[in-house]
Structures are given as structure tokens and as C-alpha cells.
Amino acid sequence: MQIHQIGRDASVLNDQLEVPGVGFLAVNAFVLQATEPVVVDTGLSLPDRGFMEALGTVLDPRDVRWIWLTHPDRDHTGALFDLLEAAPQAKVITTYLGAGIMSTERPLPMDRVYLLNPGQSLDVGDRTLRAFRPPLFDSPATVGFYDDRSGICFSSDCFGAPMPSSELAGGSEVRDVPQDALRAGQWLWATIDSPWIHTVDQQRYLATVQPLVDMDPAVILSTHLPPATGQTTEFIEMLTLAPGRDPWVGPDQRALEEMLAGFEPAGTA
């Protein structure tokens, strides 16, 4: 994992996955250095990703007070229970639905849960975190937040984009990504991760973008994108145009067989 610092307030714990036929997808978690430190998501649910080791270079896990679970997909929950064990004072911020979804695999200890809905706020000592539902999301349990002290918006999956290279997916600033590749990747991700965007009432959808306009964050942090500083205007435009993009259609069985034909089974060389 790579670690990127966002001023004095936040750290990005960057992992990534290669998605065949799509690109290289950043998978970020974050640390907000508040008086009551907040870890935002806990990485991939795959073995040996090194999340706890990377976190330990940013702060002592025992100091963590809050674990903000933006939603319970497995690319957000990998080290959750390891962190709960290492951080005995920490509580998991999620929704009632998020806690329920988690319980279908491994129940959360309910005395360690703090339920917070979009529109509500949380005081973490030196700042207030304002919860909101990002315009694009793939889980009904999704809740991002805005930090009123640093001006950072934690947007969960919203604004994500597959990158054309591993180096770009692991980058410290989205400005390093060519603009055409960034916009195309964000539109692709919007249609993959939020396919409902083609079927909802467009005026109602656009109304969900307005809170971000009002927020006007200095920095946008997405699970699936390098950190974005001073990109709010461009990102808002991307959101408003996303419903007009073509729906994404994934590979079918024939395409899968063609892909598999290009791989030599292990041990046959």
C-alpha cells in the first residue's frame, strides 16, 4: 500500500486492483487526524493487503476513536474486525441498513456501533463531520461526509474512475491524470457502479448534486480515485452529464471464454 498526505488533516491509504478490460482501480481508505481520529473504510477483503501495517505508520491504532464505514461492500471492510480489536475505544459509524448487511456475514458488536444517517452530524472534538448521501452510489447504505474544518469531502465511491495504468491509480493527485482519460474513466465508473442513473428522474437526480455545489469542497477524496484538489467545478459537470452516457454492458460467456483462452493454466508450462 502507498500513503499520501493531504495537508495536516488527512492521509490516503492507497491500494488498487487491476480489473480486466476496465483498467486499474484505486481502492483507498483514509485517516482523518481529528482530536478523535477517524479511519474511513478499511480496505480490501483479500488476504495479505497490509492495511493494519500501513495504518500503523500513520497513527497508533489504539488511538482510533471512530471507523466511518461509508458502506459495507467488501472493498471497504477488509480489516474492519482487525481494527476493532486493535482499537478498543473505536466505534463503527454506519447506518441501520449497513449494520444489517454486515450481519449477514459477520455480525458487528452492537455496543461498538454508532448509527448516523445522511443529514446528521458528528462532533469529533475539533471539527464537525456532516453526513450526506453522494449523488452516485452502489449501496443503499452509502454515507459520505464533509469535514467543515479542512474542507475535505469524503465521497465514498462517487467520482471514481478506472485508470489506464497502475502508476496513475496509485498517484497522489488526480491532476496527473490526462483530462480526457479522467473524464472517460469517471463516466465509465458512473455507469458501472450506479447503473440506475439511466432510469431515474433526471431532475430529482440533479437535485442530489446541489448539496455538493453548496459544499464547494477544497478537496474531494473518493475510494476509487487519486486525491482531487480544486476539481469541484469539473467534477460537478461530470455528474450532471453522466446520465447521458451509454449504459455499460459487461462481458458475456463468449467473451469470458475468449479471455480464458489467452491464459495458460498454472503448472502447464
Helix (H, G, I), strand (E, B) or coil at 202: helix
- pTM for the full predicted model: 0.93
Helices (H) and strands (E) in the chain, counts: 8, 13
**Whole-angstrom distance, CA of residue 212 vs CA of residue 208:** 8
Question: At which residue does the C-alpha cell 452510489 appear?
Answer: 137
Could you tell me if 186 and 240 are in contact, meaning their C-beta atoms sit under 8 angstroms apart? Answer: no
Nearest to 32 by CA among 63, 72, 73: 63
What the chain holds in terms of domains, given with CATH numbers, is: 2-103+114-257 (3.60.15.10)
pLDDT for the residue numbered 264? 62
pLDDT for the residue numbered 261? 86
pLDDT for the residue numbered 70? 98
E strands along 77-202, which residues?
91-94, 113-115, 121-123, 128-132, 144-147, 152-154
pLDDT for the residue numbered 222? 98
Query: HSE (CB half, 13 Å, CA atoms) of 153?
Result: 25
Please, what's the largest Cα pairwise distance for the chain?
A: 59
Could you tell me if 8 and 33 are in contact, meaning their C-beta atoms sit under 8 angstroms apart? Answer: yes
**Whole-angstrom distance, CA of residue 170 vs CA of residue 225:** 9
Mean pLDDT by 10 residues, the chain (269 residues): 95 95 95 98 92 96 98 95 97 97 92 97 97 97 97 97 96 95 96 95 95 95 97 96 94 89 63
Helix (H, G, I), strand (E, B) or coil at 241: helix
Q: How far apart are the first and last CA of the chain?
A: 31
Question: At which residue does the C-alpha cell 458501472 appear?
Answer: 192
